[in-house]
Structure 1
């Protein structure tokens, strides 16, 4: 382990917590950041919100990372703030990274989407499907930063839903990675191979923290995706997906694991050890499957049914008065023996029935 958990907690940006992270919090954080860094506005969103960038470090290895291009995917943003706090410290690893690397960071690329907690921008466009058209100001800004910064590595930072499990196991995909393809054949270029090696380095670190909870994302090619485009431009690019950790719907645990992944990547880059990891180690990471439900209720009766079934429930995230609430909705009805539940209840068990009542899920069922 590069740093222990107590050390990490000393750098955690505690004023930025939960799922709802907006530009206001980022601006306040940057105003109080005690770090030798260049902070500037690189452009404005559709609704004229500023898009901030931070450049820190003086080394030859240049890494560009951006978060919240989907406005409702904030876990990696929190981890980036934790990383900036770490780099501002006197820790020897932090000093080495600052000396040997130069980081370009956009903490929120889609501030309009972040404000209303939506995936898309204010024009209803998914920025991660706009890499070729560059029809949106946010897409143009990212491409301009990429071209001016000329990174050696790109980190595309996202969240993924609670439905993902690792391989065929009942373990959640708490962190997932992808070395994006650069062509339809999914061939492995020199730069894509480097992406794979870097992911292998991060996975090696994460297996010490969350064994069996790291997945590999589907590598189907889509030239409209930013990661695929940058890989096509011969820049080693890594997709990060922050996922679910048990009972961590605010993703405060997961932010720590993203922090560890980022730190492992930067440590490996600064030490020039990326090439010591194998492509084989990347492919040994199990692929993600979509077998999880937030809640599985066994032997239940729906209100309009006279016989028992299994019910699968997923949460819908709703923004109300500056907070995210989770509303339970039925997603599947029938035999769910091949699914996993982050919570599982059996209506044949009286204690489980009482728990369902306390959680307000009773209205989905008929006693």
Structure 2
């Protein structure tokens, strides 16, 4: 099922937008959910902020979803809110899904990191590298829910940086997926195969919306990563990576695409239609590469005579939280960090007066000189 933009605009949760999303932002929405949606406090973070889950549906196929394991990766949380709203509608599609599936969703696993807009939790630990030690309360809560709920599928929801492109193309990896490995050799078990087939289903939908802009994330094995650990426990697990869409640094377009991916996934599960796809379909999704910067500056020697002719400089935005708003602070990449860069989401030419004026107004020219 694919909603039109007009249909999607009616279910998009407009009170939660932008990159900064915390517990505070989502409470009004959660409190207004139908009584068929059980909102439960499932534990406390390092700083004693509550971690919540939403449970709904009454089918035999159990799906566990968690977002903002990394506090500064909020796009999928916004998509989850849209999904939750849609799942309350009196629609034939919704009725079918709720008859076949039961969901448990943790919208913000790392509320301390979300509030501080950091990847790590309040103890400075990356929760996605804590799957074996379980040293953090947030990691322990997720593992407890996993064991208690006994899911048939796990969706591990993340954001990825603007540096990622698809294959060798100049197309951004707007959405990326991974069927995590369960061993160093990256073998394909029946559960990993199920992850691959479900990703193939989502990719089929997304190719109609963003052709060529879906990538496949690196599948190097790391047992400390939650996705790999759950795959080791024989649960089909899927990594979602919400990436960059042109001119969408607030990631509202990407939010919509993650919503559509979720619909495609649950439709496939509820219809038992995994067999419509193949492992080859998954393998044919191009790998992610890191060939992008945010601003490619051409002919930089026009503003810095020390540079050789036809010099390029590369700018990457750093996300900075100030007064509850995320700002994008430009930084010029070093020569070592920019060796692989080939493309810019925006290109400016220092031989063009209008482009130099833009660089000046946006405070980038002074970074270069």
Instruction: State the Cα distance separating 1:364 from its structure 2 match.
Output: 2.3
Match of 1:135 in 2: 135
Match of 1:297 in 2: 297
The answer to whether residue 282 in structure 2 is matched with residue 315 in structure 1 is: no
Match of 1:204 in 2: 204
Go from structure 1 to structure 2 and tell me whether the alpha carbon gap of 1:304 and 1:322 turns closer, same or farther (over 3 Å shift).
farther
- Listed one character per residue, the Cα deviations across residues 255-288 of structure 1 (whole Å, up to 9, x for unaligned) are 0000000010000000110122100000000000
- 1:203-282 counterparts in 2 under 5 A? 203-282=203-282
Match of 2:358 in 1: 355
Go from structure 1 to structure 2 and tell me whether the alpha carbon gap of 1:167 and 1:306 turns closer, same or farther (over 3 Å shift).
closer
Match of 1:177 in 2: 177
User: 3-state DSSP class of the match of 2:312?
Assistant: strand
Show structure 1 runs of 5+ residues with no match.
none
How far apart, CA to CA, are the structure 2 residues paired with 1:312 and 1:287?
23
Match of 1:344 in 2: 347
Of stretches 331-340 and 258-267 in structure 1, the one that deviates more from structure 2 is: 331-340
How far apart, CA to CA, are the structure 2 residues paired with 1:22 and 1:337?
35
Check the 8 A contact 2:332/2:368 in 1, yes or no: no
User: 3-state DSSP class of the match of 1:64?
Assistant: strand
- Listed one character per residue, the Cα deviations across residues 31-79 of structure 1 (whole Å, up to 9, x for unaligned) are 1223511110000000000000000100111000000000000000000
User: 3-state DSSP class of the match of 2:321?
Assistant: strand
Instruction: State the Cα distance separating 1:9 from its structure 2 match.
Output: 1.2
How far apart, CA to CA, are the structure 1 residues paired with 2:206 and 2:5?
13
Go from structure 1 to structure 2 and tell me whether the alpha carbon gap of 1:272 and 1:111 turns closer, same or farther (over 3 Å shift).
same
User: 3-state DSSP class of the match of 2:356?
Assistant: helix
How far apart, CA to CA, are the structure 2 residues paired with 1:217 and 1:307?
36
Check the 8 A contact 2:291/2:340 in 1, yes or no: no
- 1:49-198 counterparts in 2 under 5 A? 49-198=49-198
* Paired residues, number: 366
The answer to whether residue 55 in structure 2 is matched with residue 31 in structure 1 is: no
How far apart, CA to CA, are the structure 1 residues paired with 2:17 and 2:84?
15
Show structure 2 runs of 5+ residues with no match.
none
User: 3-state DSSP class of the match of 1:10?
Assistant: helix
RMSD over aligned Cα atoms: 1.5
TM-score, length-scaled by structure 1: 0.97
How far apart, CA to CA, are the structure 2 residues paired with 1:316 and 1:305?
26
